[in-house]
Amino acid sequence: MKKVELIVEARNNEEQERKISAIARIKYRLPAIGSYVVEVDAGRLPYLQNVEGVSAIRVNSFVSLQ
């Protein structure tokens, strides 16, 4: 299954992190903006969208510094 990298905005607490990590692999924690960078199978995205406390999901953009 195709994996996608996403930024998930959610309440930063242990319970939220546990729920998200049950569905996706947390790659980075971004506490300053209340978000996580996660990698998830595309087919599991609906489960991630339904986690209580998740306020937004965005596709991660890759930025290159020159």
Report the distance separating Cα 57 and Cα 39, nearest Å. Answer: 12
Domain ranges of the chain: 3-59
User: At which residue do the structure tokens 């998740």 appear?
Assistant: 54
Both structure tokens of 57: 């999901």
Q: Where are the beta strands (DSSP E) in the chain?
A: 3-10, 25-30, 35-41, 54-59
Residue 65 has pLDDT above 80, yes or no: no
8 A C-beta contact, residue 34 and residue 11: yes
Q: What is the DSSP letter of 12?
A: -
Tell me what pLDDT residue 1 has. 80
**Fold that domain 3-59 belongs to in CATH:** Alpha-Beta Plaits (3.30.70)
Band (44; pLDDT cuts 50, 70, 90)? very high
Residue 64 has pLDDT above 80, yes or no: no
Q: What is the pLDDT of residues 7-41, one digit of tens each?
A: 999 987 888 899 999 999 999 999 998 999 999 99
